[in-house]
């Protein structure tokens, strides 16, 4: 898998993002196939099922867990990449500090889902713009 990802220019570009390795990059590329399918990058998170599930009925409006509708392999890969960013990443970046702040406020599971959704958006934008990830300290 490492060789396959190293020879693919899109996967090499995606692997410049912290927490994204060959498995995540190949899974993202295989799941999305054509980045032009999505009008907005934020739609990729919804495609993977990383949006809040809502239950609305009369006076009730409950926003619960993620919907889990969409590509479960992509969702799992993005979640693991977010877990890597929040847990194993030594170098500080804006995404990690944002996720850590969110984990303090909302809890670690919600923070991982939010970072996974942001990673999906970031990966889609980098794929379309054909640029590498630039590290920024927060």
The pTM assigned to this predicted structure is 0.84
The predicted structure's pLDDT at residue 33: 87
The predicted structure's pLDDT at residue 69: 72
Q: Is residue 40 part of a domain?
A: yes
Buried b / exposed e over 100-125, threshold 16 CB at 10 Å, is bebbeeeeeeebbbbbbbbbbbbbbe
Residue 79 has pLDDT above 60, yes or no: yes
Q: Is residue 134 part of a domain?
A: no
pLDDT tier for residue 110 given thresholds of 50, 70 and 90 = confident
Q: Is residue 136 part of a domain?
A: no
pLDDT per residue as tens digits for the range 10-69: 999 999 988 899 999 999 999 998 999 999 998 888 888 887 665 667 676 656 666 667
Q: Is residue 30 part of a domain?
A: yes
The predicted structure's pLDDT at residue 91: 84
Spatial contact of 70 and 46, defined as CB atoms under 8 Å apart? yes
Give the structural domain span for 34.
2-129
Q: Is residue 54 part of a domain?
A: yes
Q: Is residue 26 part of a domain?
A: yes
CA 110/CA 106 separation, integer angstroms: 6
Structural domain count, the chain: 1
Q: Is residue 135 part of a domain?
A: no
């Amino acid at each position: 898998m490492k060789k396959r990802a190293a020879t693919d220019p899109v996967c090499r570009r995606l692997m410049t993002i912290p927490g994204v390795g060959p498995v995540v990059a190949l899974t993202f590329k295989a799941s999305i196939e054509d980045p032009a399918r999505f009008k907005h990058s934020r739609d990729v998170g919804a495609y993977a099922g990383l949006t809040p599930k809502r239950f609305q009925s009369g006076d009730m409006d409950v926003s619960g867990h993620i919907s889990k509708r969409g590509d479960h392999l992509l969702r799992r890969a993005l979640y693991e990449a977010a877990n890597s960013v929040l847990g194993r990443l030594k170098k500080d970046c804006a995404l990690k500090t944002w996720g850590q702040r969110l984990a303090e406020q909302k809890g670690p599971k919600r923070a991982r889902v939010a970072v996974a959704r942001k990673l999906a958006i970031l990966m889609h934008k980098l794929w379309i713009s054909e640029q590498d990830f630039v590290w920024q300290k927060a």
